[in-house]
Structure 1
Amino acid sequence: MAYNVNPFLERRSERTTSDEEFALVFSPKILEKLPEQAFKSGVHIFRSAPGGGKTTILRAFTPSVLRSFWRSRGNNELKESFPQFVEKGAVNDQDGPQLLGVLLSCASGYADLLPTASPIEEGPFRALFDCRVVLRTMRSLSAFLGFASDDALDAIRLEYADEAKDLQEIPRLESARDLAEWADAQEKRIYAQMDSFAGRSNQSVPSSRRIESILWLQSVRFVRNGHPIASKRLLMIDDLHRLRRKQREVLTDELIVQRPSMPVWLAMRTLVLGDELLSQGAKQGRDIQEYLLEELWGSTKGIHQFLPFALNVLERRMRQQDAVTGTFAQRIREQLEQDEINTFVQPAIEALRTSLQPHEKNARYSEWSARAERKSESPSLEALLEFFVTRILVARDVSKKQLSFDLALPAEVIDDKDSSSLRAAAEVLLHDDLALPYYYGMERLCVMATYNVEELLSMAAALYEGIIAKQVLRTRHNDLSPGEQERILREVALRRLKFVPKHHTEGSRAQKLITSIGGYCRSRTFLPNAPYAPGVTGVRLSQQELEKLQSRSRPLGEQGDTLRRVLTECIAENLLVLRQSSASTARDAGSILYLNRTLCAHFGLPLQMGGWQDVSCTDLIDWMSRGWKPKRVAMEI
C-alpha cells in the first residue's frame, strides 16, 4: 500500500483517490444516518456546507466503488462498511453490485451555455443535461458489469416500457453502443456551438422542450445475453448550486412534476434567506424530501451521534500511514496532568480573593471563602472550577437589587446553585482569565468541526503534524498535551478567519462581520455574573428583521442587499450556522446565526450552542461596514 505523508490532507471525495482507497477510508457511520426514505422513489435533496459529505455519499453508490467494496468484502477494514451496502440493497454478497448508480456533476458546462434564439429559454440546457445522463448511464453500466472500458456495451440490448413512447428527443435505439454514440455526438454539437460564439457556425444548438432523461432512465431495460440487468437505479446529481438559478429552477421543477418512480438525489450547498428550491405547489414530504446533513447529527443526542462517525473517519485515515504507531485518539491526551493543574491553583485562589476583596468586611461570603481555602489544599480541576463558580455566584449575589441582610451564606449554597451550565461558564472563564487549556480532547475536536468532515480533517491534519514533530524531537511524551492541542487548534481557527477574504466573494465584509459578531459575543459572555451561562455564541434576527432583509420593497436599500449576500455566503460556507428560533410568549420567531465552532475557539468562546442575543439588521450592516465597537454598559442582572 502507498502511504500518504499526511493522510488527513486528502479529501475523501477527490477524484484523484482510487476507488479502492476511497473504500478503505469511507466511514459507514454516515449510512446509518441516511433515512430509508432516501432510497425510495421521488426527489431527494441533500444540502450541507462545503465539506459536509455530500459528494462522498454520492460517490459511495457509484458502480465502480460498490464493486470495490464487494471485491474487498473479506478485508477486515471493510467489515463495517460492506454489510451496510448489503442492507441498503446496493450490493449482493454473491452477485456483486445490484444498484446502478449514475452520478452526474453540474460543476462545468451548464452555466456556460450561451443565450440562444430558442423559443424555449432553457432548451439547450435540457438537451445537454439529457445527453449527459444517457452517456453517464452507459459508462456506469460498463462499470456495473466490471469492465474498465465501454466494450461491454456491444453485448447490451435496450428495450423500452410503454411509458417510453412519450420520448421525443432521446431516440429509442436498441443498441447501447449506438445510443452512447448519439449522446456523445449530441454533447459535442452543443460544445461546438458554445465555441463558435462569434457566429460563424451555421448549425443550430440542440434544444429540448422538457427534460426526458428521467423518463428514459426509468423506462429503459438493459438486456445482456437474454437476461435483464441493473433493474434497480439511482440518479445522483451533484453540485446543483453551480447551475444558474433559472437552470436550477427548471431542473427541480420538472423533476418534481414528473414524480420519478426511482430515487433521484440532488446534492447542493446550503442556500438560505430566500433562495428556494421547491416548485410552486410542491409539498415537502410528498413531492420532495430534503436532508440537511448537519442536522442528521443534530438530534437530541447531538455530538454523541457525530462523535462515533468522526472517530471512525479519523481512525480509517490513521491506518493509511505508517509514520506513527497507535490510533489517532491515543495520541490526543484527554486530561490535564496533576503538575499542570498545580500551576493554576494559586492564581485561581488569588482571582477569587480579588473578587471578594471589596466585601472582606462583609461576613456574607466568609464561609464561601473558607471553603475555597480548604479546597486549595487538595488541588484538582474540580477545585479550580469551583473557585470560578464561587466568583460567578458572588457577582450574581452582589448584583441583586433587593436589600439583603449581611448574614453569612452557608457553603452548601454553592452546591445548591451549581449546575452544568454554570460550571461550563466557569471553565471558559478560567480559560480566559488564566489560560487553562480548554480546546482539547477528541470530543471538543469533533464539536469544533461543526458536523463538517472537511473541517474535521483540516484540524486533524494539523494535529497529525504536531504528533510527527514530537516524534522527530523524541520528547518524553509522544502524545499531544492539552496545551499543545489548543495551540494547534487555535492556529487553525486563526487561519480559517484570515483566509475568508481570499476564499469568498464578499470576503472582506464577511470577515469584518464575523469578527464583529465574535467581539460582541465575547462582551456578553465574559460579564462577571455570567448571565447567559455558559456563554453567547450567536446572534438572532427576529422574523420582523428577516422580513426587512427579504422584502421586495428593499427597506434597507443597497446595504440590505449587501448584508443579505454576505449572510447567505457565510451560511453557505459554514462560517455561520443557521438555526430556527420558535416563537414564545415573550418573543416572535426568528433565525439564530451561530458562529462556526472552530471560530468560537479563535474568539475564546464556549463550544456549546444555546446562548444568543437579539440584534437588528441595522446592527449587522454597521458591523459589516465599520466593525463592532464595545459600549460601556452596566453589569447585567
Structure 2
Amino acid sequence: MAYRANPFLERMSERTSDQEFVRLFSPKILDRLHEDAFNGAVHLFTSPPGGGKTTLLRAFTPTALRAFWNARAGQDEAYQRLLGRQVLHESDGPQLLGVLLSCASGYADLPPGASMTQAGLFRALLDCRVVLRALRSLSSLLGYGSTDQLVDVRLEYDELGRDLKSIPVAESAVELVRWAEERERAVYAKLDSLIGDASADLPVHVRFESVLWLQSVRFFRGDKVVAPRRLLMIDDLQKLRKRQRSMMLEELVELRPAVPVWLAERSIALGDALISQGAREGRDLRHYPMEDMWSGKSGQHQFTTFAQSILDRRLDVQRSIPAGAFSQYLEDQLTPDDLGDLFAKAVQVFEKETERHLQNIRYTDWLARAKEGQKAVDFDSLVELYATRILIARSEGRRQLSLELAPIPVEELDERDSKVLGAAEIFCHDELKLPYYYGIDRLCALASTNVEELLAIAASLYEAMQAKQVLRKQPDPRLSPAEQERRIKETAKRKRDFIPKSHTEGTRAQSLLDAIGFFCRDKTFQIAASYAPGVTGIRLSQNELNRLRPAQTKTSEHYAMLARVLWECVAENLLMTRDSAASASRDEGTVFYLNRSLCAYHGLPLQYGGWQDVSVENMIGWMDRSSAPIKRRSLEVLR
C-alpha cells in the first residue's frame, strides 16, 4: 500500500485499490447483517453520510471478493465470515455475483414527469445498465480483462427468463453486452424526441425486467455453473428524483424478486418519515437503518469493537509511528500529575458547600468518610467527593419534617450506582476543567455509530501523535488525557461551526442544536444530579409529533420549518432518534439525542438515557432564537 500522510483521512469506499480495501475492511460489520439479508426481497439500507453503506456494498463486488479470496491466508477473520455466508467457497472461490450500480449519474438527466414514456425510459436505462454491469462483473469474477473474453461463457434461462419482453434471451454473453451498450446509447439519443417527435421509436420498458433477468439467467463455462448466487446492489438512491425513487421502490417490491436487491441511500431521502410516520416495511421490503445495527443491549460495545478494528487497521498502514493498537497511544487514566492543584481546589469547594451541614448529625459519618478520603490524592478520591455532594443534595431534597437524630449509615455511600459516579465525573470536568473526553471507549462513543465521524476524530488525534514523534522528536507519541480532549473539542467545534455551511436550513439547525445543548446543561448540572449522569436529549410525545406531520404543517409555516429542520438534523446524524414507549404517566414518543460530538462541544456526558420532554412551541422558539434556554451556573444548588 502506498504511504499515507494521514491514513485516517482516506475514504476507502471510493479511492482505494481492492487490495487496500481488503486490508482496511473490518469484517465485524458482517456480524451485524440481518440473517435474511441474502434472501430474495428488497432490502433498503439507510444512514447519514459516512454510515458505511457504500463500504458494505463494495465488499460484495467481484473484485473485492477475489481480493478477499486471494488474501485469505492473512485475512482469516473476513474469510471465515464470508465462508459462513456462503459467499466464498473453500476450493471454488467466490460464489456470489455482486452487481453494483450507482444512481449518482445519468438517471436525473432524464426529463422530469410521470408519463408512461418518461417512466419507461427510466426503466430501460436501469435495465440495460444492470445487464451490462452484471456481465462486466462476471468478467471480473472470472479474472478476465474485458467482456470480450466472455466468448467461452454460455447463458441459459429458466421458465421465467423465457417470458422476458424487453431484454433479449441471448445465449452469448458477448452478444448481450453489445445489446446493453447499444440500448444505453439509444436512451440518450432519444431524449430530445420527448420534446420533438412524440412518435419516435423510444426504448421504453413497462417493468424492471433486469431483476427478473438476473434471477433467471445461469452462466456456464463449459459444463460448470459459474456464480450460482446473485446480489443486485443499487447505491445513492437519494440522487434520484423523488418520483423515480418512489416508482423504483414500489415496482421492485411488487416484482417480489427471488434474488436479494440491496438499495442504499442517505437518510435525507426519507424526508418527514424520519420524524413522523416511518418507512413502509413488510415481507418483501426490509428496512435497515445502519445506525440501528449498533442499537440494543450490547450495541455500543459491539460498535466499539468494530471501531477499534477500523482504527487498528488504519494505523497498520502508516510509518510515522510504530504500528499496533490505536488505543495504546491514548492514555486512559488520570495520574496525580494530571490532577495538580485541582484536588486541593475540589476539597475547598467541598468544604464550602458542606459547611452548613457540619452540625447536622445526619451527615456526621458521611463527612468523616469524605475527610478520610482526602488523604489519597487521586482521581477516585476526587470522584468520591463529588458523589458525596450529590448524595447529600439528594438527601436534603427528600428530607421529611420528622425529627431525625441518627446519622445516615456510611454504607449508603457505598450503595451509589454507576449513574451517580458518572454524574460526579462530568461535574469534575465542568467545575475543575478536568479532562473527560479521553480514552478509546469515549473516542468510539463520540463517533455516534458513524464511521466517518470516527475517522475525523481519529485523524486529528493521529496528527497530534505524529507531531510528537516526527516534529518534536519525542520518543513516546502517546497522548495524555488533556491532549486528547483538546483535539476532540477542536474537532467538535469545527463540526458545530460548519453546520450553517453544510445544511439547507443550517443556521436554524445550529440555533436549535445550540439551544438543546444549553437546555441539557441546565438539567444536567444541578448538584442533586436528578437525571444522572446527565441529560443529552429532548423528547417529543406522539401528540407533539403529530403536529409535525405534513397534513398539519400545511397550516403553519413555523411548524413546517421546524419539521424540515428536525428531519434534516436526523438525516445528517446531528440528532439521533430513539423510540420512547408509553408508561402510566406519559404516552409514547421519540427522543432526539444530540450527536455525541456536539455533547463534547457543550461539555455533556456521552451516555444515553437522560432526556426531558419539550413542546413543539419550545423548539420553534429555540430555532428562531426568540426564547433560547438560559445558561444556568454550573452545579447550581437548588435551595
Q: Please give the TM-score of this superposition, normalised by the length of structure 1.
A: 0.94
Aligned-pair distance for 1:576? 0.5
Deviation at 1:47?
1.9
Deviation at 1:485, TM superposition (A): 0.4
Q: Report the CA distance shift for 1:614/1:602 in structure 2 as closer, same or farther (over 3 A).
A: same
**1:157 and 2:154 correspond:** yes
Match of 1:559 in 2: 558
Aligned to 2:507: 508
**1:460 matches 2:458:** yes
Query: Could you say which residue in structure 2 is the equivalent of 1:55?
Result: 54
Q: What is the CA-CA distance between 1:201 and the residue it aligns to?
A: 10
Give SS of 2:629's match.
Answer: coil
Match of 1:437 among 422, 428, 435: 435
Alpha-carbon distance between aligned partners in 1 of 2:114 and 2:429, rounded to the nearest angstrom:
65
**Aligned-pair distance for 1:397?**
2.5
- Please tell me the residue identity of whatever aligns with 2:625: R
Q: Check conservation: 1:362, 1:406, Cα contact below 8 A.
A: no
- For residues 284-312 of structure 1, the C-alpha deviation after alignment (integer angstroms, 9 at most, x for no partner) is 2x222222222222221132211211111
**Post-superposition offset of 1:417:** 4.7
* Cα separation, 2, equivalents of 1:554 and 1:117: 26
CA deviation after TM superposition for structure 1 residue 628, in Å:
4.9
The question of whether the paired residues in 1 share the 8 Å contact of 2:621 and 2:627 is answered with yes
Counterpart residue type for residue 418 of structure 2: S
Separation of aligned partners in 2, 1:280 and 1:407: 57
Residue identity in the other structure for 1:468? Q
**2:376 maps to amino acid:** S
Are residue 409 (structure 1) and residue 407 (structure 2) matched?
A: yes
User: Does residue 544 of the first structure (1) align with residue 543 of the second (2)?
Assistant: yes
User: What is the CA distance between 1:41 and its match in structure 2?
Assistant: 1.6
More displaced stretch, 60-69 vs 499-508: 499-508
- Does the 8 Å CA contact 1:493/1:602 hold for their aligned counterparts? yes
Alignment of 1:12-161 (within 5 A): 12-14=12-14, 16-74=15-73, 76=74, 78-115=75-112, 118-119=115-116, 122-161=119-158
1:6 maps onto 2:3 in alignment: no
Distance across 1 between alignment mates of 2:127 and 2:404: 81
Cα RMSD (Å)? 2.5
The residue that corresponds to 1:321 in the other structure is: 318
* SS of 1:549 mapped into structure 2: coil
Equivalent position to 1:238, from 224, 232, 235? 235
Identity of aligned residues (%): 49
Tell me the distance in 2 between the aligned counterparts of 1:323 and 1:232: 43
Does structure 2 retain, via aligned residues, the 8 Å contact 1:118–1:207? no
1:598 aligns with 597
Deviating more after overlay: 202-211 vs 474-483: 202-211
* Match runs of 1:10-409 below 5 Å: 10-14=10-14, 16-74=15-73, 76=74, 78-115=75-112, 118-119=115-116, 122-194=119-191, 199=196, 203=200, 205-270=202-267, 274-275=272-273, 284=282, 286-327=283-324, 328-400=326-398, 402-405=400-403, 407=405, 409=407
- Distance in 1 (CA, whole Å) between partners of 2:243 and 2:271 is 17
1:501-527 per-residue CA deviation (whole Å, 9 max, x = no partner) reads 111111111111111111111111111
CA deviations 1:327-359 (Å, max 9, x no partner) are 212111111122223532111111111211344
Deviation by residue 1:512-567 (Cα, 9 ceiling, x = unmatched)? 11111111111111112111111100000100011110051437611211111111
Deviation at 1:135, TM superposition (A): 1.1
Tell me, what secondary structure is at the counterpart of 2:107? coil
Measured at CA, do residues 205 and 495 of structure 1 come closer, stay the same or move farther in structure 2, by a change above 3 Å? farther
Task: Number of aligned residue pairs: give it.
Answer: 632
Q: Distance in 2 between matches of 1:453 and 1:280?
A: 24
**Alpha carbons of 1:479 and 1:631: their partners in 2 closer, same or farther (altered >3 Å)?**
closer
Separation in 2 of the partners of 1:571 and 1:115?
28
Structure 2, unpaired ranges of 5+: none
Alpha-carbon distance, 1:31 to partner: 1.0
Say which is worse superposed, 182-191 or 570-579, in terms of deviation: 182-191
CA gap of 1:47–1:526, structure 2 versus 1, over 3 A, is same
1:100 is paired with a residue of what secondary structure?
strand
Letter matched to residue 446 of structure 1: C
Q: Distance in 2 between matches of 1:457 and 1:48?
A: 16
Secondary structure of 2:12's match? coil
Q: CA deviation at 1:467?
A: 0.2
> Which residue of structure 1 aligns with residue 532 of structure 2?
533
Structure 1 pair 186–118 and aligned structure 2 pair: CA distance change class (3 A) = farther
Distance change >3 Å, CA 628–CA 494, structure 1 → 2:
farther
Separation in structure 2 between the aligned mates of residue 568 and residue 51 of structure 1, nearest angstrom? 17
Greater displacement, 219-228 / 478-487:
219-228
> How far is the alpha carbon of 1:632 from its aligned partner?
9.1
Q: Secondary structure at the match of 1:594?
A: strand
Contact 2:281 2:287 in 1 (8 A): no
Letter in 1 for 2:131: V
Q: Secondary structure at the match of 1:480?
A: coil
Secondary structure of 2:109's aligned partner: coil
Q: CA contact under 8 A between 2:96 and 2:231: conserved in structure 1?
A: yes
Q: Secondary structure at the match of 1:478?
A: coil
- The separation in 1 between residues aligned to 2:457 and 2:193, in whole angstroms, is 46
Contact kept? 2:279, 2:287, Cα under 8 Å: no
1-structure distance, mates of 2:514, 2:294: 27
Superposed CA offset, 1:267-300 (max 9, x none): 12225564389x999752x222222222222221
Counterpart AA for 1:59: R
- Offset of 1:399 from its aligned partner? 2.9
State the SS of the aligned residue for 1:23.
Answer: helix
Farther off after superposition, 114-123 or 41-50 = 114-123
Deviation at 1:104, TM superposition (A): 1.0
State the one-letter code of the partner of 1:367.
Answer: D
Question: For 1:343 and 1:384, how far apart are their aligned partners in 2?
Answer: 12
Q: TM-score, normalised by structure 2?
A: 0.93
Query: Judging changes above 3 Å, is the alpha-carbon distance between structure 1 residues 604 and 556 closer, same or farther for their aligned structure 2 residues?
Result: farther
Distance (Å, rounded) in 2 between the aligned partners of 1:339 and 1:497: 32
Letter in 2 for 1:431: H
Q: Structure 1 residues 80-89 or 522-531, which shifts more?
A: 80-89
Checking the alignment, whether the CA contact within 8 Å between 2:48 and 2:573 is kept in structure 1 is yes
Aligned mates of 2:554, 2:504 — CA distance in 1: 24
Distance of 1:449 and 1:345 partners within structure 2 = 31
Deviations 1:436-476 (A, max 9, x none): 11100001111111111111111111100010111121346
Q: Which residue of 2 aligns with 1:482?
A: 481
- More divergent stretch after superposition (454-463 vs 204-213): 204-213
Change (3 A) 1:414 1:100: same
